[in-house]
Amino acid sequence: MLISLINLSYLIGAVAFVWGLRLLSSPDTARRGNILASIGMGIAILATLVAPISGGDNNYLWILIGLVVGGGIGWVAAKRIAMTAMPQMVSVFNGLGGACATVLALAELFKYYDGTMTMGLGQLGIVLFTLLIGAVSFTGSMLAFGKLDGRIKDKHVILPGHTIINIILLVVVLALAVWLMIQGSAAGTGLMVVFLVASLLYGFSFVAPIGGADMPVVISLLNSFTGLSAAAAGLIYGNQIMLVGGILVGAAGTILTVLMCDAMNRSLLNVIIGGFGSAGGGSKGESGDQVAKEATVTDASIQLFYANSVMFVPGYGLAVAQAQKALKELDDLLEGNNVDVKYAIHPVAGRMPGHMNVLLAEADVPYPKLLDLEDANAALKDTDTVVIVGANDVVNPAALDDPGSPIYGMPVLEVWNAKNIIVLKRSMSPGYAGIQNPLFFHEKNRMLFGDAKDSIQKLVQEVKNM
């Protein structure tokens, strides 16, 4: 009787995951979807706590300690974290899931090597796979966290010939896995530790050369890895809900990865091999003798005040400058003067999928005002003034007309179709990808130098005084 109840609970939990994720992919139902999935998780955990087991001492105290400590850390972190630090937070949580799978695989292997448990070859293979992918997801996510948080700069972790090093590491890791399988239970824990260390190292090294504009891709990819590790752990335990949950996450992560790659018109392999910035040698680099025209705060505010329509193009710089609330204030002032204000969101603007949407939502910008790439490009033709706030590569015309540019072929926001362009920028330095942007020298463009938040606040003051 109890066992049927447990199985039924797992089934309900699995359906809740599927339905929850389905609801999560539509704006009106997303919040309900998240709650539904969390209820499914609660049911699954409760069922696991009371499920009849063969052997073992239950050890509920240990479980309770784990649940309280983990739940406490998770809750406090989720409530305390600033909305702007969301990409880092998601990355950390993701890494912990991977680490959990790796710990499970280790526990199985310890039992296997001390002779208290036997495993078939297939089973052993799955345990090793769980360990590997969980470990890669863990160190990869932690490095991604460091990069997103600005603690680690790309140049600190990229070695010369990094692609070769990664390939060698991957070969070593796979060879170790094969060796462990051939050796079977004779391999011992020493070799297991070597395999663990190599896997952890590979995760770090794998993410190291990927940076800047490629971050959204790698974050989604790591997300799908964690899903896979959970699913593989599900196979170890013969547990259906772990398998279903893990695979769903793997699918969600893969879909996002593909969307992000499409948005840059690059293949996943190309992103992984990396070198977005370093490949820029072939570009024309025609900036030498050109001079970008500068705007004053007064010029810019007049252009905004008397426009019929204004389009803001936010990028990572908006997040860095924490300028989203100031931008919303400017938006409100202009709307009050009957200016139609919209936002153009490029799919890879920022450092994680949907980064700009979260940032603007935090500043209370209603989401119908955010246009995606296609709609924005259609609307740009009828826009009077475009204001580019901390975006660079996603508005670079070289993507369309300079075959030598590393971003050639990437769909971009065609802001030059608008009547006027204002670029808010600290200096003339190239974007994160290290590519010069001919847009800055475009005849329609004026540069407004300074910190984005500072510049926007000055614009707000000017517009108020008009």
Partner 1 sequence: MDTVLQFFNEQLIMIYLLIFTIILGFEVISKVPTVLHTPLMSGANAVSGVVIIGAILLIRQADSGDVLQLGLGTLGVILGMTNVIGGFAVTDRMLEMFKKKKK
Which residues form the catalytic set?
A: 393
Cα-Cα end-to-end distance for the chain: 76
Stretch that binds partner 1, among 156-164, 195-203, 305-313, 365-373 (CB under 8 A): 365-373
Among 9, 88, 106, 313, binds partner 1 (CB under 8 A): 106
Binding residues among 208-237 for partner 1 as defined by CB under 8 A = 219-220, 223, 226-227, 229-231, 233-237
Q: Residues 186, 250: contact at Cβ < 8 Å?
A: no
Stretch that binds partner 1, among 200-208, 278-286, 356-364, 381-389 (CB under 8 A): 356-364
Q: Residues 196, 240: contact at Cβ < 8 Å?
A: no
Q: Residues 99, 139: contact at Cβ < 8 Å?
A: no
Q: Which is nearer to partner 1, 286 or 375 (CB)?
A: 375
Q: Which is nearer to partner 1, 107 or 167 (CB)?
A: 107
Binding residues among 158-217 for partner 1 as defined by CB under 8 A = none
DSSP secondary structure string for all residues of 239-291: -HHHHHHHHHHHHHHHHHHHHHHHHHT--HHHHHH--TTGGGGGS--TTTT--
Sheet holding 445-449, edge to edge: 370-371, 340-344, 309-314, 385-389, 420-425, 445-449
Binding status of residue 150 toward partner 1 by CB under 8 A: no
Binding status of residue 122 toward partner 1 by CB under 8 A: yes
Among 2, 5, 8, 78, binds partner 1 (CB under 8 A): 78
Binding residues among 19-38 for partner 1 as defined by CB under 8 A = 20-22, 24-27, 30-31, 33-35, 37-38
| H or E stretch covering 345 | none
CA distance 131 to 105: 5
Stretch that binds partner 1, among 98-106, 145-153, 403-411, 428-436 (CB under 8 A): 98-106
Binding status of residue 82 toward partner 1 by CB under 8 A: no
Q: Which is nearer to partner 1, 321 or 370 (CB)?
A: 370
Stretch that binds partner 1, among 269-277, 297-305, 366-374, 410-418 (CB under 8 A): 366-374
Among 180, 208, 217, 242, binds partner 1 (CB under 8 A): 242
Q: Which is nearer to partner 1, 8 or 65 (CB)?
A: 65
Binding residues among 249-278 for partner 1 as defined by CB under 8 A = 249-256, 259
Query: In degrees rounded to 5, what are phi and psi of residue 55?
Result: 75, 170
Q: Which is nearer to partner 1, 107 or 174 (CB)?
A: 107
Among 5, 8, 121, 168, binds partner 1 (CB under 8 A): 121
Binding status of residue 238 toward partner 1 by CB under 8 A: yes
Listed in sequence order, the residues at least 6 apart from 342 whose beta carbon sits closer than 8 Å to its beta carbon are: 309, 310, 311, 312, 369, 370, 371, 376, 379, 383
Binding residues among 328-347 for partner 1 as defined by CB under 8 A = 345, 347
CA 5 → CA 2, 54, 70, 343, 441, distances in Å? 5, 17, 27, 51, 69
Amino acid identity of residue 367, one-letter, is Y
Q: Residues 213, 276: contact at Cβ < 8 Å?
A: yes
DSSP secondary structure string for all residues of 163-179: HHHHHHHHHHHHHHHHH
Listed in sequence order, the residues at least 6 apart from 425 whose beta carbon sits closer than 8 Å to its beta carbon are: 317, 388, 390, 392, 440, 447, 448, 449, 452
Binding status of residue 325 toward partner 1 by CB under 8 A: no
Among 11, 12, 96, 297, binds partner 1 (CB under 8 A): 96
Dihedral over alpha carbons 190, 242, 34, 360 (to 10 degrees): 30
Stretch that binds partner 1, among 42-50, 312-320, 381-389, 436-444 (CB under 8 A): 42-50
Among 8, 111, 286, 429, binds partner 1 (CB under 8 A): 111
Stretch that binds partner 1, among 169-177, 351-359, 388-396, 432-440 (CB under 8 A): 351-359
Q: Residue 123 Cβ, how far from partner 1 at the closest point, in Å?
A: 7
Q: Residue 225 Cβ, how far from partner 1 at the closest point, in Å?
A: 9
Q: Residue 189 Cβ, how far from partner 1 at the closest point, in Å?
A: 10
CA distance 431 to 365: 26
Q: Residues 414, 380: contact at Cβ < 8 Å?
A: yes
